[in-house]
A and B are shown apart, each in its own frame.
Chain A
Amino acid sequence: MMISLVKEQTGLEFIKEMENQYKSIEEAENTFKRNPTNMVLYVDLENWKHYLKNPNEKIKRTTSLVTDELILGEIELQLLNTIKRDNPKSISELARLSGKDISVVQPKVKNLVKNGLIQLKKVYKNSKTPHLNYDHITIDV
Chain B
Amino acid sequence: MIKRNQDKVFINNKIIYKVETDTGWSVVIMPDAILIDNYHHGYVHIHPDPINHDKKIRIKDFNQDDIHFIIYNHIFQNKKLIIKKLIKELR
Point out residues on A near B: beta carbons under 8 Å.
2, 8, 36-40, 42-43, 46-47, 50, 54, 57-67
Contacts and interface: CB of A to CB of B under 8 A. Distances in A.
B19 A43 contact: yes
Contacts of B6: 47, 59-62
A43 B7 contact: no
A47 B9 CA distance: 18
A63 B7 CA distance: 6
Tell me whether chain A's interface is mostly helix, strand or loop, or mixed: mixed
Interface stretch (B20-28, B55-63, B80-88): B20-28
A43 B2 contact: no
The range of chain B's interface size is 20 to 34
Contacts of A43: 17, 19, 21, 26, 28
Given A46-B23, A58-B4, A63-B7, 7 more contacts: A39-B30, A39-B50, A57-B3, A58-B2, A60-B5, A63-B8, A66-B10
Contacts of B19: 43, 46-47
Contacts of B4: 47, 50, 57-60
